[in-house]
Amino acid sequence: MRDDELPAAVGVVLATAEHRPDAAIVRDVGLARMLRQQAPWLTLHFSTQSGIHTIDDLHWLASEGVSRAILARELSEDEIATLTAATEVETEVFVAGSACICVSGSCDLGGLLTGGSGDRGRCIGICRHRYVVDQQQGQWLYARILTLLVP
């Protein structure tokens, strides 16, 4: 988020107060801090787009009063287990779906090329396009499919 967008974002969340949402999923540190100050009743979850990869990330989130961390999509099953065991913060993970080359959905390429970035709620799926490199066609920007589901 940009500094000039933060007050409006807080306003949107405060407008939901009468409906008592279960939580707000945030990515932005500034927004989280403003919500903690202006809506202390609100439970905060940190988005996978925050790129939560380390135990230090989880310790920091705990110190900020965040109750749930949606871990980075790039983590392996072993890394997820290690992180989850090392924190009091509740963890959540994506176990199926796609993970593009833009780490944890943090898409700079789409924003640079077309202004349509997933970070701004406008994913255009540029990573899923087929490209030709050295006369070879492929989905070169599409990292992998998440496969943590157990059959």
Write the pLDDT tens digit of every residue in 5-17: 999 999 999 998 8
| 94, 109, 142 - which closes a domain | 94
Identify whether residues 75 and 13 lie together within a single domain: yes
Q: How many CA atoms lie within 13 A of 16 on its CB side?
A: 15
List Cα–Cα distances, 140 to 51, 60, 68, 137, 143, in angstroms: 22, 34, 33, 8, 8
Q: Which domain holds residue 124?
A: 97-151
Identify whether residues 86 and 103 lie together within a single domain: no
Identify whether residues 56 and 103 lie together within a single domain: no
pTM equals 0.75
Identify whether residues 89 and 146 lie together within a single domain: no
Would you state the pLDDT for residue 133?
Answer: 84
Greatest alpha-carbon span in the chain: 58
How many domains would you assign to the chain?
A: 2
- Which CATH number covers residue 42? 3.20.20.380
Identify whether residues 103 and 126 lie together within a single domain: yes
Contacts (Cβ under 8 Å, ≥6 apart) of 141: 100, 101, 109, 126, 127, 128, 129, 131
Q: How far apart are CA 146 and CA 151, in angstroms?
A: 14
Range with the largest mean pLDDT of 14-23, 107-116, 122-131, 142-151: 14-23
Identify whether residues 27 and 60 lie together within a single domain: yes
